[in-house]
């Protein structure tokens, strides 16, 4: 099946299904590419790595990493494999949270974790080298979250 041109239902090679090639300029980033990019952003932040540091490890600029993370640029299979090895995750990690139709499953927790602030917190947390200080920060955040829940109840 040739996706380089719009296809019509009368095209005998497409089985009666109409396909149209997506373009980022016209249609915006593909939702699956955005999901994979979001997973990349999340894992990079968890690893305490900047876009520049990750880019250097794979021979890319931070702008290229940024475009991967937004889904503006698609990540090739070989690059995804390389990123999975650097970030120490299985390839399937990038597709977690997608249903069988390629749609992101609704999850409040996942939506919250993809926010920029959450990525910044994770990056800062993993940037703390002393395990005791890291534990203390986690305890403080947990208690603060408990207090804000009690106040809003």
Apex 11 CA angle, 10 and 17, nearest 5: 80
Q: According to the model, what pLDDT value does residue 6 have?
A: 44
Given a cut of 70, whether residue 107 has pLDDT beyond it is no
| Residue 148 confidence class, pLDDT cut points 50, 70, 90 | low
Which residue range is the domain that position 76 belongs to?
A: 22-105
Please indicate, yes or no, if residue 16 is contained in any of the structural domains.
Answer: no
Last residue of a domain, one of 67, 90, 105: 105
Alpha carbons 44 and 58: distance in angstroms, whole number: 13
Please indicate, yes or no, if residue 5 is contained in any of the structural domains.
Answer: no
Tokens 């089985």 belong to residue: 15
Assessment of whether the complete model's pTM goes beyond 0.85: no
Question: Same structural domain for residues 29 and 101?
Answer: yes
Q: According to the model, what pLDDT value does residue 47 have?
A: 86
Tokens 């800062």 belong to residue: 124
Domain count, the chain: 2
Structure tokens at 53: 């540091």
Q: Give the domain CATH number at 40.
A: 1.10.260.40
Question: Same structural domain for residues 43 and 98?
Answer: yes
149 compared with 52, residue with greater pLDDT: 52
Question: Same structural domain for residues 120 and 92?
Answer: no
Whole-number average pLDDT of the chain: 80
Please indicate, yes or no, if residue 11 is contained in any of the structural domains.
Answer: no
Question: Same structural domain for residues 49 and 97?
Answer: yes
Q: Could you tell me how many residues make up the chain?
A: 153
Question: Same structural domain for residues 75 and 32?
Answer: yes
30 compared with 25, residue with greater pLDDT: 30
Residue among 99, 102, 82, 100 at smallest CA distance from 91: 82
């Amino acid at each position: 099946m040739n996706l380089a041109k719009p296809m019509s239902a009368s095209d005998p090679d497409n089985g009666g299904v109409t396909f149209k090639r997506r373009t980022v300029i016209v249609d915006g980033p593909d939702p699956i590419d955005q999901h994979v990019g979001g997973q990349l952003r999340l894992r990079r932040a968890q690893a305490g790595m900047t876009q520049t540091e990750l880019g250097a490890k794979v021979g890319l600029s931070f702008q290229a990493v940024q475009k991967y993370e937004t889904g503006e640029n698609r990540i090739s299979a070989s690059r995804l494999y390389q990123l999975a090895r650097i970030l120490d995750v299985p390839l399937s990690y990038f597709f977690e949270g997608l249903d069988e139709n390629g749609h992101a499953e609704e999850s409040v927790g996942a939506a919250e974790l993809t926010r920029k602030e959450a990525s910044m917190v994770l990056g800062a947390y993993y940037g703390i080298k002393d395990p005791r200080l890291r534990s203390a920060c986690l305890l403080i955040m947990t208690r603060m979250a408990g207090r804000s829940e009690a106040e809003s109840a």
